[in-house]
Amino acid sequence: MSTEEKSLHFIEQIIEDSLTNGFPKDKLRFRFPPEPNGYLHIGHAKSICLNFGLGLKYNAPVNLRFDDTNPAKEEQEYVDAIKEDVKWLGFNWSEELYSSDYFQQLYEWAVEMIKNGKAYVDSQTSEEMATQKGTPTQPGVDGPFRSRSVQENLDLFEAMKRGDYPEGSHVLRAKIDMKSTNMLMRDPLMYRILHRHHHRTGYNWNIYPMYDYAHGESDYVEQISHSICTLEFVMHRELYNWFLDQIYDNNRVRPHQYEFARLNLNYTVMSKRKLLQLVQENIVHGWDDPRMPTISGLRRRGYTATSIRKFCDIIGVAKRENIIDYSLLEFCLREDLNKIAPRVMAVLDPIKLVISNYPDDLEEWLDAENNQEDETSGYRKVPFSRELYIEREDFLEDAPAKFFRLSLGREVRLKNAYIIKGESVIKDQTGNITEIYATYDVDSKSGSGNEASTRKVAGTLHWVSIKHAIETEVRLYDRLFIDEAPDSHKEKNFLEFINPNSLEVIKGYVEPTLAEAKPGEKFQFQRLGYFNVDNDSTSEKIVFNKTVGLKDAWEEKGKKEENLLMNTQKEINKYVKEKEENNALLILHAIVENIVSIDNYSLLVNTIVKNIKNDSNSLLFSNLILQHSKKVKFKDIEEDLLTKLYSMSLRSQLAEVRISAITNLQNDSHNYSLFETQLSDLKISEKNEKVLQLIADRKI
């Protein structure tokens, strides 16, 4: 096997095998078939890159086909957005097609199936059909209308087409096998009645084909050779082939369906229904909100097409589902932006810096490198003056030894400018610093070649000249959800995991070279991260979106929370052993504060579960998390595990465990009654006054 063959993913290998077995290369044809019922998201980007990538690799046409068979949910807005997204990602389709192009052909094939005894009109309610269809372990039974005559079926189907019947009164079903082990083969629906406006056909049709019927037949009309779907369609393949069997002509290409694992990304949701809910409930500001995982949202936030294609290439094409870390997507973005984004200076939390020995009337225009990663990017001129803005966090009046920024008596370099030394500060009535005064070394100008200019100092700060700075609106975006899998938790609404700090709007100041920046242009704000100009920008006000930080803040936060929880558990032992009550209360207060500060729901739940074991300190830790965390509720813990926690805790030799467990039970009305007998027994044998008081507070 050659090196190239080893690098092929399994879909490419299937195609290579087809060619080896005699399939003509000029008959290869692929398609990307979105349903226009929402905006495309990052998961669709993987499918786009796969299908159009195959077209490029094999020099084969790729159709963009809209599977528009449900007028209740589909709109022209979505069609236009999908086309824009595909083009922006860098791909061109061979033909723009629609399943609605084939409505007449699909109808005629359905009529032929009725004539051949392969389809019938069913007049049961949806509930009756669901019951009649059986279960995965129980075969279905024939419905009362399965034996209708061919003529009656033809007449009913024609009347359905004319619009004679209301929605839900009749459906057309394929007549296959009600006892099939594959429930999708138990006489699936082919057509339903919908008196709705279609974005292309208007009110010409009153019946619309189901996806499973239209999809494979549309592939056949277009002569698609390899129909590539995601893994949830594995069970649909048998039905896909059955429908093709009814119309297949040996002289034409027969499509074959193959399945790959879709993209699952943590800290987000991929369901169009849930994304639509976010839009409709105004949790986000539209489908292209920069917090959304939609391609349009990512584009508006500042993502590049190159970074998304690179991301899809890295994760590859697999047969097994897995969850990809959002950090990988951000890594691909940083890698691309690092090469192409010009470096500029911006201050987002400004404090005034006055260089006291710099002349009042002097103004210099200094050389600043545009991008050290790109030798051809050249230099720009930035203005320097006596009064500057620097970041508030870059100054401490009394700094520790490892603070490598500005403080009184210490030196730092101003980027592209001079070395300065902190001298004094001015404070307001509440003690907040409002101005910093510093002196500069006249001979230390960057690039001057003077000996002073090569002096090493602790750090380098970015800045903007106050009288030249442009005031801007800056939107600091963060992940929309605080949980890794917000829609995976039983009995919890995914909206409970919305990050309340996913958007912060602030006022910032940027260097004057950005006065003419256009929407979509991307920059690195030095030391702060990557930003792009938002579509809301006007000639009067520039709006910047934070695209991504220079470092992975979420990975750092995750590690910090894990370490904090681990260290907090160690404090439990100190708390239990502390004899002096006031000291014990201080330790407990710190433990509770740490628990409350942790946002990671999954981390908290997993820690509770992991500590349900016959160890008093572990049981106390689980109870304290359950008692004090605002992220976890009683119902979030599996009932048998929660019962085990209470039962073991009430038998614990450590009074603090019993106290915490009883407190939780008294707040957990669902489970309290289950432990009334155990609490009554405990009341008789208990010697700890706090435990007895807690039991007495709620009469058994």
- Three state DSSP letters for 125-179: CHHHHHHHCCECCECCCCCCCCCCCHHHHHHHHHHHHHCCCCCCCCEEEECCCCC
What whole-number distance in Å separates Cα of residue 543 and Cα of residue 424?
A: 34
H/E stretch holding 258 reads strand 256-260
Q: What token pair was written down for 459?
A: 């750090």
3-state SS class at 200: coil
Q: Which of 83, 146, 262, 421 is catalytic?
A: 262
What whole-number distance in Å separates Cα of residue 232 and Cα of residue 423?
A: 66
3-state SS class at 546: strand
What whole-number distance in Å separates Cα of residue 699 and Cα of residue 694?
A: 10
Measured over the CA atoms of residue 261, residue 44, residue 530 and residue 391, the dihedral's sign is negative
Q: Are the C-beta atoms of residues 172 and 157 closer than 8 Å to each other? A: yes
Question: How close are the terminal C-alpha atoms of the chain, in Å?
Answer: 76
Q: What token pair was written down for 326?
A: 């959002």
Q: What token pair was written down for 45?
A: 């980007």
Active site residue 35: yes
3-state SS class at 54: helix
Contacts of 102 (CB under 8 A, 6+ apart): 214, 217, 218, 221
With tokens 């079903």, the residue in question is 173
Q: Checking DSSP bridges between strand 207-209 and strand 189-193, what pairing results, if any?
A: antiparallel
Sheet holding 189-193, edge to edge: 119-122, 171-174, 189-193, 207-209
In this structure, the number of other CB atoms found within 10 A of the CB of residue 581 comes to 8
Nearest C-alpha neighbor of 534 from the set 263, 296, 361, 350: 296
Q: Which of 29, 148, 237, 272 is catalytic?
A: 272
What whole-number distance in Å separates Cα of residue 66 and Cα of residue 83?
A: 10
Q: What token pair was written down for 541?
A: 């006000």
* Residues across the chain: 700
Q: Checking DSSP bridges between strand 264-265 and strand 350-355, what pairing results, if any?
A: unpaired
In this structure, the number of other CB atoms found within 10 A of the CB of residue 320 comes to 7
With tokens 């929605």, the residue in question is 167
Nearest C-alpha neighbor of 567 from the set 590, 586, 599, 601: 590
What whole-number distance in Å separates Cα of residue 106 and Cα of residue 6?
A: 41
Q: Which of 12, 29, 31, 35 is catalytic?
A: 35
What whole-number distance in Å separates Cα of residue 531 and Cα of residue 177?
A: 58
How far, in Å, are 555, 630, 632, 636 from residue 558 at the CA level?
5, 18, 17, 21
Active site residue 118: no
Helices (H), ranges, 316-432: 326-340
Where b means 16+ CB within 10 Å and e means fewer, 256-295 reads bbbbbbbbebbbbbbebeebeebbeeeebeebbbbbbbbb
Q: Are the C-beta atoms of residues 217 and 247 closer than 8 Å to each other? A: yes
Active site residue 262: yes
Active-site residue list: 35, 262, 272
